[in-house]
Amino acid sequence: MYLQQVKNIMASRRIHRASLARLAQVSRAAVTRWFRFASPEGWINVETRTLLALATGLEMSPEFLLKEVPGLEPFEVRFLWDRFYPSMEDFVQALVQGRPPAVARLVEVVGFRAAMRVVGKRVVRGFARYKRFIKPVRRRELEILWPLYNSQI
């Protein structure tokens, strides 16, 4: 299975490695080895019963865990330039949790339209709550666009 797929699931569902081990019915040491010794392509070689147990525990199809997804590393420069978040997984987790600084960073970098594809319409609805985290010049640009997007929701 692919490690990035597992990392994405862990971040979105706020699952720790110990819980992942329990769901996969393996030891915590086994999960640690997954993260330490994944292939350069991100592939983790696990037994079929482990894959099936993990998929069942996560209530998803085993095929989903076998799909390759691109890593988040290429986005680090755009979103983590100030190291406010230690990794892209932490940034994604903050987005899932709806933390205003993370949502602000997303909108500041990609704009309303692309941000809505990532986290939904709450990007536009909650603009007043997080706009103070956006740099002033970009915030003024977004304040001009905000009424247009808000009227379409």
Task: Show the domains of the chain with their CATH numbers.
Answer: 3-71 (1.10.260.40), 74-151 (no CATH)
- In angstroms, the CA 76 to CA 85 distance is 10
pTM score: 0.64
Joined tokens for residue 23 = 């769901």
- Judge contact between 104 and 133, C-beta under 8 A: yes
pLDDT band at 142 (very low <50, low <70, confident <90, very high): very high
Calculate the average pLDDT of the chain: 92
pLDDT in tens, 61-83: 999 999 887 777 788 888 998 88
